[in-house]
Amino acid sequence: MAKYENQPATAGADGQPKARSVRVVILALMIAMLLAMLDNMIVGTAMPTIVGELGGLEHLSWVVTSYTLATAASTPIWGKLGDLYGRKSTFLISIVIFLIGSVLSGMAQDMGQLIGFRAVQGLGAGGLMVGVMAIIGDLVPPRERGKYQGMMAGVMAIAMIGGPLVGGTITDHLGWRWSFYINLPLGAVALAMVTAVLHLPRKERTKARIDYLGAALLTVGITAIVLVTTWGGTEYAWDSAVIMELAAIGVASLVGFFFVEARAAEPVVPLHIFRSRNFTLMSVIGFLTGFVMFGAVLFLPLFQQSVQGASATNSGLLLLPMLLSMLVVSMFAGRVTTSTGKYRIFPIAGGGLMVAGLFLLAQMDTGTSRLTSGIYMAVLGAGMGFLMQITMLVAQNSVEQKDMGVASSAATLFRTLGSSFGVALMGALFTGRVQDEMAARGGSKITEGSAQLDAASLAKLPDSVREAYEFAVASGTHAAFLLGAIVAVVGFVAAFFVKEVPLRGAGPAQAADRPTDKVPETV
C-alpha cells in the first residue's frame, strides 16, 4: 500500500482520505486557483491608473504579455517537476513565487520593473493552475471528479464577475499597488491550508535528469508563437519581417522540441500521451474552447458598452448570463458523470451549443436589446459549461497515473494558447472591420484606436458620428463572433470521435499500488 506523508487523522482504513478531508483539500486548492484567476481581472481594471502614475503607455501591452508568456512557457515544466519530485512541494513553491512576484509588482517604480515582476508572477501562475488540476487528478478518481466541477466553475465565475468590481474598488480607495498586495492574504491562506491538509503519496526520489534542452526549445517555441499572436496585426503587420521571423523561430523550435522529446530519457512532454485518441481530441477541443471563451469575454462587454450604452463599471456583471449558465451546466454535467460514468454526450452537446451561441451573438446589431444578448450569452455559457471541466477530466483519464502532471499541464497549455490565438485573431478582425466601417462612413477621424472608445466618450460625440461608430462596433462584433462560430464547428465535429472509455474509479491509494494504468484506447 502506498505511504502517505503525514497521514491525516481522517484517513480511512485503506489509507485514502475520507470525503470530508477531500472537500477541505479541494477548498484549499480552489483558493489557490482563485488567486491566479482573480489577479488578471483585478489588474486589468487598475491598468489605466498604473499607466497614469508610471507612464510608459507604449509598453502597456507588455504588462499582460510578459505574464502570459511566463505562464504558458512554464506550465509544461511545472507539470513535469510535479511528476518527478512530488506535486505538493512544487505546488507550494509556485504559490511562493507568485506571491513574491505580486509583492515586487506592487513595489515597481517604473513600467520596465512592472513588466519584469509580472513575468515572475506568471512563472508562479503556471504552477498554480497545473498544480490544482494535477493534484485533483491524483486525489479524486475520474468517476468521482464530477462532484467538484461546480466548485471549479464557480471559482471562474467569481473571478470574472468579482475581479473588475474588486479591482475598481481597490484602485479607487487604496491605490493601484494594492491590486497586487491583495494577493498576499489569499496566498497566505492557500499556503497554510495546502500545507496542513494536503497529503499525497510520498514520491520516491528519482535519479532522472530534467530534459533541459526540451524545456528550452519548448519555451522558445511557445514564446515566439505567443508573440506572433500578440503583435500580429497590432504592433506589426502580419506580413512584416518581425512576425515572419518569429513564426519561423517558433516553428523551428517546436520541430526541434518534438525531435528531442522522441529521444529524451525523461521528456518534459512525453509524446506517447498523444497516442491516446481521447487525449489528443481533448487537447484540440480545449484549445478551441480557450479560443472562443476569452474572445467572448473581451468583446461582449465592449459591445454592450459601445453599442448598448452600458457602464464600464459594471463590465463584470454584463457577463452574468453567460457565467451563471456555465456554472449551472457544469454542475449538472459533473453530477451526471459521477452517477453514470458516462461523458461522451457532453463534449458533443457543448460543441453544438457553443456553435449556436456564437452564431446568435454574431447576429447582434445596434437594435439588439440587453435581454436578447443575455439569452444569446446564456446559450454560449451552456456550451462552455459542458466543455470546461469535462475536457480536463477525459484528458487525465486517458493517461497513466505517472503522467498525470504532464497531461494536466499539456491540457492547460493548449487552452492557454487557444485563448492567445482567439484574442489575437478575433481582435484583429474586429479592429479591422471597425476601422473600415468608420472610414466608409467618414468617422475615422475620431481616433486612431476607435475600437476602444467607452460609453462616456461616445456620449460627447455628435449623433451622426456616434451612430456610425455604434454600427461599426456591431459590424466588428459580427465578424469576430462569426469567426468564433466557424472555429467552434471544428470542436463540435471533433467531439463525435471521442470514445466512451470507462472512468477510473479507484482513489489515489489504489492507483499508486497499480503497476500501470493501461490506456485502453489509442489513435
Residue range 37-61, pLDDT digits in tens: 777 777 766 666 776 677 655 566 6
Q: How confident is the model at residue 392 (pLDDT cuts 50, 70, 90)?
A: confident
The closest of 461, 523, 473 to 494, measured between CA atoms, is: 523
Mean pLDDT computed over 380-397 = 84
Instruction: Note the maximum CA span of the chain.
Output: 76
Q: Is the dihedral of CA 73, 272, 389, 137 positive or negative?
A: negative
Residue pair 334/146 in contact (Cβ under 8 Å)? The answer is yes
Cα angle 157-159-162, degrees, rounded to a multiple of 5? 95
Q: Which residues contact 385 (CB under 8 A, 6 or more apart)?
A: 153, 325, 326, 327, 328, 329, 330, 332, 333, 350
Instruction: Look at residue 312 in the predicted model and tell me its pLDDT.
Output: 54
* Range name among 113-122, 210-219, 292-301 with the lowest pLDDT average: 292-301
Please say if the pLDDT value at position 228 is more than 80: yes
Instruction: Look at residue 520 in the predicted model and tell me its pLDDT.
Output: 40
Instruction: Look at residue 187 in the predicted model and tell me its pLDDT.
Output: 87
Q: Cell 525523461, residue?
A: 266
- Predicted TM-score of the model (pTM): 0.74
Task: Annotate 291-314 with b (16+ C-beta within 10 A) or e (fewer).
Answer: bbbbbbbbbbbbbbbbbbebebeb
Please say if the pLDDT value at position 310 is more than 80: no
Instruction: Look at residue 462 in the predicted model and tell me its pLDDT.
Output: 65
The closest of 184, 174, 156, 190 to 289, measured between CA atoms, is: 156
Mean pLDDT computed over 146-164 = 70
pLDDT digits (tens, 9 = 90+) for 370-379: 888 889 999 9
Average pLDDT, the chain: 77
Q: How confident is the model at residue 513 (pLDDT cuts 50, 70, 90)?
A: very low
The closest of 25, 79, 20 to 190, measured between CA atoms, is: 25
Please say if the pLDDT value at position 326 is more than 90: no
Please say if the pLDDT value at position 449 is more than 50: no
Mean pLDDT computed over 460-477 = 76
Residue pair 155/102 in contact (Cβ under 8 Å)? The answer is no
Mean pLDDT is highest, among 73-87, 104-118, 160-174, 404-418, for 104-118
The closest of 29, 181, 173, 160 to 99, measured between CA atoms, is: 181
Please say if the pLDDT value at position 508 is more than 90: no
Mean pLDDT computed over 491-504 = 86
Q: Which residues contact 13 (CB under 8 A, 6 or more apart)?
A: none
* Sequence-ordered alpha helix ranges (H) in 107-235: 111-139, 142-145, 149-173, 178-181, 183-197, 212-231
Return the percentage of the chain with pLDDT > 90, whole number: 13
What is the C-alpha R_g of the chain? 23
Phi, psi of 236 (to 5 degrees): -135, 155
Q: How confident is the model at residue 461 (pLDDT cuts 50, 70, 90)?
A: low
Please say if the pLDDT value at position 155 is more than 80: no
Instruction: Look at residue 249 in the predicted model and tell me its pLDDT.
Output: 94
Distance, in Å, from the CA atom of 22 to the CA atom of 29, rounded to the nearest integer, reads 10
Please say if the pLDDT value at position 444 is more than 60: no
Mean pLDDT computed over 136-146 = 73
Cα angle 5-8-14, degrees, rounded to a multiple of 5? 85
Mean pLDDT computed over 310-339 = 76
Mean pLDDT computed over 140-162 = 70
pLDDT digits (tens, 9 = 90+) for 173-204: 787 788 888 888 888 888 888 888 777 666 55
Distance, in Å, from the CA atom of 174 to the CA atom of 27, rounded to the nearest integer, reads 28
Return the percentage of the chain with pLDDT > 70, whole number: 77
Residue pair 489/355 in contact (Cβ under 8 Å)? The answer is yes
Q: How confident is the model at residue 6 (pLDDT cuts 50, 70, 90)?
A: very low
Please say if the pLDDT value at position 2 is more than 60: no
Instruction: Look at residue 342 in the predicted model and tell me its pLDDT.
Output: 83
Q: What's the first-to-final CA gap in the chain, in angstroms?
A: 33
